A and B are shown apart, each in its own frame.
Chain A
Amino acid sequence: MWIFRRKISEGFFSLSDKKYSAIWSVEKIHLGFVVKGYIKGKPEKLEILRIDAPRKALAGGWQSWSPFKVIDTKNHSFKIRDWKYKDTPALSENHLSDYLVASNGIVIGFLSSRFAHPYFEIDGDQIVAYLDYFDSNFENEIPIEPLIVLNEGDTPLLLELYARMIAKDNSVKLEKKKPIGWSSWYQYFSDLEWSDVLTNLEKAKDFPIEIFQIDDSYEADIGDWLDTRAGFPSVSDMAEVIKRKGFKPGIWVAPFSVSETSKLFKEHPDWVVKENGKPKIAYKNWGKNIYALDLSNEEVLNWLNDLFSNLRKMGYRFFKIDFLFSGAIPGERKRSESPIISYRRGMKAIRKATKDAFILGCGAPLIPSTGFVDGMRVSEDTAPYWEAKDEGISAKYALRNDITRYFFHKRLWHNDPDCLILRKDSNISKEQREIYAITSGTLDNMIFLSDDLRKLSESEKDLLEKTISLSGGKPRVENIMDTSMRYEITSRGSNSGNIHLVVDLKESKYKLNFDNHSKIDRRVMVKDNGRNFYFYGEVF
């Protein structure tokens, strides 16, 4: 193993290059060691660590939608799904993984992404860890994103410890409990009509739903979030109607994205990230070219602040913020700084403006988002069908990622396994619907429904109840390095006691076991000065 091209040893080190200078230390920590230090100058692509590559590695991309799975390091090529990943920072032919890579008994990972993008490449028989600082030039010393190597234990334990260390390094404090909600997306997609909202609002009181969230559909254009499309009331009235029905209003926004046809782009063509002086296409979707907001621009940050402050004032308390990766694409910005620094400015503005509201990140660069979101999608979208070729969008591969990225949950944020699709008329079998729900529950993940609620009968309500009753424990994927897609998941101390779940994604089969656990009746009373009183056992 080599650190900064020196054979590894504990201690303090320094180096001076033409373009940059760095000091760093290698220190022993619990079950491994950490590399920390400072750097100044223009480091560009900086090699931090080099290690002989194991044959099998758990690896994956930088954002919510990227696959995360065990690969063969000698023979792998990540299928880069068209536009969505094209602009992954520093993506090269040899690109192996972003942020972390793990194998049997070892986890190597970066604890932060504040200035640079951390990633891994394959170089012959070796894995090399890099930090990409892009074109940033630092006049003053900045901290190097710390790198840990944990190599004294089983992989699941080491992954959990790694996630906890990221949380500590980024001062993550999980302030909010995970809410149960409803989202319009997986039943209505972009064809949602206001009448569908009203219909589901009527039915929602029969379910343990707290958040009622309108997804992509209502907006006049990407970027014009306060204008609604024909047939929808104003954004403010939407919140009012949901509130009146007794739910917390939730809304979908792609805050760093601007379509070429939007009012926002027409009014502020200079607010977007550019390439050779012209607006750079971040991605294409909704049949349009989509640009990325330049988050290094103070005016843009003020606009974001106003947008989210307004939405919050209208009563929205749940924000699904999507396509976040666009805020971090490389390109020309007002301030010449790394896209990671800009991205974090944008996230900080939204976090500040939304105050106590719940933020669910989606399509988001993972590590740079820590501390700014309450929940995080850790997979591609689910779908009302199980299987897709080339690991495309499907329930099966969404669930795979929810399993393989389980260790982030409740350390960095609440993992969002995407919505449960419970209705019978989807192309998912009963067994598969149960697998999705029961696994999400066992993993203690967020629970959102996305069905026309009129279609759900008692049996689906029972499955939802069961899913909720399985949550509350400490989950672990015991055989995370397995390549058969047959996962053994345990959860200790859940609401249903200790759980042992074997879920086979290939065969669509599962086996759920738990200990006998006690249940006790409880009645809560709030008395003088707001003191809680709990009466247990026989209720008199």
Chain B
Amino acid sequence: MQELRFNPLTGEWVIVSTATQKRPVRPSSVECPICPGGLEFQDISEYDIAVFENRYPSLLKNPPEVESRGIFKKERAFGVCEVVVYTKDHDSSIPKMPLYQIKKLVSVWKDRTRDLFELSFVEYVFIFENRGKEVGASLSHPHGQIYAFPFIPKRIELKIEAMRKWYEERKKCPICEVISSEPGERTVYENESFIAIVPFYARFPYEVHIYPKRHISTILELSEKEESDLADSIKTIVMKYDKLFDQEFPYMMMLFQAPPKEDVDHFFHFHIEFNPPKRDKDKLKWMASVETGTWTFINPVAPEEAAQKLREVKI
């Protein structure tokens, strides 16, 4: 079963996707499926950065037809799910990758965004990375993913609405205002084009946001210099995480771009969120009843304090 179902209690779409692990796959001598020679790259001895469409995608370019019955509203599960392999080196990770490789990754993100934006059924393109078993990453080989949705997901819709409202009241973009108003106590890192902060409104302990200083709404607008600076910001933040906690610190890294078929660029400011699930070296910050059920977050670490610790980590 592969379909979208509408939840009238929250107005959100749920993807029902049960079509996993049914087809038998040819076994491979290489254990990691995304290493050269592994399951996904059986005839490939080497690659630099590779992107491929997920073997068991929850969204499909050609999804089965669906039929809504009565009040139970369904839609076809249009979309694309891609895996982005950052490097052929299994044991690498963002802190170990050379800067030019991360910059290349940014270029790849741009290329994928451009392609996916052009698909008529795509309403949102979400680039992300789950790092660590704490957030469900099953492979340690450095990789991220891209979901191209046929709708604007609920939290993105909420962000758009909040930013729109701010703009209507103040005729300015909220992120531009946050950047110009930040006194520095929450700043973790800064280069010419980007600023990384633990935001005033951080929900997770050690949550970090990366904002471009120039008001842009998608990564397509990044200049070459900004691509380098973004790569530098991402690498710096992950290095700081790993050094501060003396481990491969788990996180969810998420890129928030404007949707392709809306005109929200005047108030929507592209940004990256790092949401780490840990509150300390070996303490998890669970998404439990309050967080999941009410979407209220109780942050046990003051953002200013987290920022100071991360800022002071020398890398």
Contact = CB atoms under 8 A, between A and B. Distances in A.
A531 B49 CA distance: 17
A535 B224 contact: no
Contacts of B110: 518
A540 B47 contact: yes
Interface residues on A, range: 35 or more
Given A531-B55, A537-B104, A515 B223 contact: yes
B266 A518 contact: no
B282 interface: no
Contacts of B265: 474, 492
B111 interface: yes
B291 interface: no
B31 interface: no
A293 B112 CA distance: 47
A486 interface: no
Nearest to A531: B53
Nearest to B120: A175
A261 B310 CA distance: 83
Contacts of A502: none
Interface in B94-113: 103-104, 106-108, 110-112
Contact of B50 (A473, A493, A519, A533): A533
A536 B53 contact: no
A31 B107 CA distance: 35
B285 to A, nearest CB: 35
Given A174-B120, A531-B53, A531-B55, A536 B48 contact: yes
B228 to A, nearest CB: 9
A538 interface: yes
B111 A536 contact: yes
B263 interface: yes
Contact of A164 (B49, B55, B263): B263
Contacts of B114: 472, 495
Given A492-B221, A516-B224, A520-B107, A536 B50 contact: yes
B266 A157 contact: yes
Interface in A132-162: 152-153, 157, 160-161
Nearest to A494: B220
A160 B262 CA distance: 10
Interface residues of B, number: 37
Nearest to A28: B168
Contacts of A473: 220
B218 A177 contact: no
Contact of B104 (A176, A498, A536): A536
A5 interface: no
Contact of B108 (A152, A531, A536): A536
B133 interface: no
Contacts of A515: 223-224
A30 interface: yes
B120 A176 contact: yes
Given A520-B104, A536-B104, 10 more contacts: A30-B168, A31-B168, A498-B221, A516-B223, A518-B106, A518-B227, A532-B52, A535-B47, A535-B49, A540-B47
Interface of B: 44-53, 55, 103-104, 106-108, 110-112, 114, 118, 120, 164, 168, 171, 216, 218, 220-221, 223-225, 227, 262-263, 265-266
A-B pairs with the 4 shortest C-beta distances? A493-B220, A537-B48, A515-B223, A516-B224
